[in-house]
Amino acid sequence: MRLTVYGPLRSSTGEKTVSMAFDGGTVEDALAVFVERYPRSETQLFDDDGSLRTSARISVNGERVEVDDACPADAEVTVFPAVQGGRTDGQGRPTDG
């Protein structure tokens, strides 16, 4: 699998595109392999409860996917990490002011 990362995830990998051994499975499986190899990426992709951050975007072979979608062993995966910004109430919920 070849995985291309953007934004702050690049500091986790040290480069834009990395190749990793992956036997195929789901997108969630592919992300688990990525996080295992690059543990610093975990907080940028996943919430404290282990769910993919809602603002993280994943594509496989150019198509946007969800974590339970299939991901072949030879996939080209692209990861856009969660984007921070705006005001929140301390619990991650947007505020009006």
pLDDT (tens digit per residue) in 45-81 = 999 999 999 889 999 999 999 999 999 999 999 999 8
- Rg for the chain (alpha carbons), in Å? 14
CA distance 54 to 58: 11
* DSSP 3-state of 37: helix
CB–CB of 27/58 below 8 Å?
yes
pLDDT value of position 97: 46
73 within a domain of the structure (yes/no): yes
> For residue 10, what are the domain limits?
2-80
The CATH number given to whatever domain includes residue 29 is 3.10.20.30
Across the range 18-24, mean pLDDT stands at: 97
